[in-house]
Structure formats: structure tokens, C-alpha cells
Amino acid sequence: MGLFDKLFKKRPVPDPVKKEKPADTPPPAPEVKKRTSWLDELADPDSPVHEKLKKLPEPPKEKTEPAQRIEVAVTVRHEYKKAEPIGELSHLEFGKPAGALGCFLNYEPRVLSEPTERQLAYLKDLGVFIPDGITKDDASCMISRATGEDDLESPGPELVALAVGLGVRFSAFIGAAGLLRQIVGQTGERDRAALFGYAVRQSLQGSGLGNMLEDPAVGSFYDFADQVAADPALLRSLNGREPVDYIHPHKGTAIYKAAAVLFSGGGA
């Protein structure tokens, strides 16, 4: 082939349909999960946060101190006091003939009853001499005096005379405090109001409780009682009084103030 042919020979037209082979496409990158919080990181088992957590230093363990043993020595001492026998208790003499069970009560014979076996056994344990013929009420009064619920001493003659005059029934073995309780408990409102007025007058004079019925001013005490009966407030105040108020009247009560106004002069 000559030079001419080399210069002017038509070169083959490339096939327009034939395209160059594209280069190989790289594989897509792995999808990265979008995490919104540390909870998502912990929930993902492939998250690198787990490796980081493993590498964290462990906190030092606190040393547990052994509990101190507290020992308490308790010494129990049993003190035994031998009860001294009380012996025979004094009783009141009324000069009356023997009743159904003896002469130790001023009760009517129809209300007398024998002491229980339990009462008798208790009196023996207390070391109290048990006379023949005592009643159930006698035994009860003797037990009260031996155990300190009543005075060991018998009541004075003036208090006994007051009780008898007011028709109070009581055991001859009763103590002084017990007899006053019987007087306050068995008498009606008029007698109690008069007695409280008398008690206030005695307190103002610095005297003790005696036989109101033998006092020259006994009429004024019952006049005061009628005043109390007509006043509901004074009557309520009277009914709230305890036997001790007749020995040491409570000055803050309405009935005391009313009696003090009336008897501050020493009499009617």
C-alpha cells in the first residue's frame, strides 16, 4: 500500500451502538443505623459501646466493717419481803345484841350473809385474825384495811355518830376513809349538800369533819342544801364531788364558791 492509501484510506467508523463497558461499581456501604440515645447504643449488641464499658475500671469495693457485738448483762434480783401478820383488827362496839352472825354490824339481820371461802383464805394469807361470826361485808372491810384500800385505823366517834344519824349502814370493821365513802355514797342529795356546806365551813375555820347533826348551825347547812337543790348548776357541781372533797374542799368548784360566800362568817 502506497503513501496515498495510508493517508486517505477511510478509517472504520466506530459502531455508535457499541458502548464502552462501564467500570465495575463498588459494593454499597453498610447501612449505618441512626441512634437517637444511649439506650439505642446499649440495645444494639454490635455497638462498640459494650467494648468500652468492659474497659471501664471497676469501682473499689467498700470494706464491710464487722458489726460490733453488744453484750448487756442483766442481773435480776428477787427481793422477798416477809409479810408481817396484821393480827386482830379493831372494830366498833355498838352495844347491840348479837345478830344472825354476830354483833359486828349495824346492819339489819336480814341483810347479813356469810363470808366466802375466797375471802377467808385471803384473810388468812394476809395474816388477819378472823373472829367468829363475821359477815361477808365484815370480811370485805377487813381485806380493804389490810391491803391499804382503807385506813387501818377505825373511824372516830363523831364520824360514826354522823353515819348512824344519817341512817348509813356499815360494817363495824370499816376504816375511817371507808366510812366517809359510805356516807357520801348512801345519803341523798339534800344530806350531801348540807354536809358539803358544813365541810366548807369547817375548812374555812381550819377544823376537821365532825358530826354535822350536833352542830348549832345545822339548820343553815340544810338551808344551803335547799339552795343547791333549786340551782341545776350547783347540783351538778355537788354530784361531781368525791369523798376527799369533804375533807379538803376543792376551791375552784361552783358549789364551794357558793358555800364559801354563805359560811365565810363562821356560821349561818
| Per-residue pLDDT at 175 exceeds 90 | yes
Q: Which residue did the predictor score with more confidence, 132 or 235?
A: 235
Could you report the per-residue pLDDT of 238-258, keeping only the tens digit for each?
Answer: 999 999 999 999 999 999 999
Q: How confident is the model at residue 220 (pLDDT cuts 50, 70, 90)?
A: very high
Q: Residue with C-alpha cell 382503807?
A: 150
Looking at the structure, tell me whether residues 124 and 158 fall in a common domain.
yes
Supply the pLDDT for residue 87. Answer: 85
- Residue 209, SS3? coil
- Residue 171, SS3? strand
Q: What is the mean pLDDT of residues 153-158?
A: 92
Q: Look at residue 44 and tell me if it is in a domain.
A: no
Looking at the structure, tell me whether residues 126 and 214 fall in a common domain.
no
Q: Are 133 and 97 in contact (CB under 8 A)?
A: no
d(CA 75, CA 257): 55
Q: Which of 192, 177, 262, 181 has its CA nearest to residue 229?
A: 192
Looking at the structure, tell me whether residues 246 and 177 fall in a common domain.
no
Looking at the structure, tell me whether residues 193 and 182 fall in a common domain.
no
Model pTM score: 0.65
Which of 187, 216, 237 is where one domain is finished? 187
Looking at the structure, tell me whether residues 175 and 194 fall in a common domain.
no
Q: Are 211 and 179 in contact (CB under 8 A)?
A: no
| Per-residue pLDDT at 197 exceeds 90 | yes
d(CA 83, CA 78): 15
Q: How confident is the model at residue 226 (pLDDT cuts 50, 70, 90)?
A: very high
List, in sequence order, every residue forming a beta bridge with 87; answer none if it has no partner.
128
| Structural domain for 215, as ranges | 188-268
| Per-residue pLDDT at 126 exceeds 50 | yes
Looking at the structure, tell me whether residues 108 and 161 fall in a common domain.
yes
- Residue 42, SS3? helix
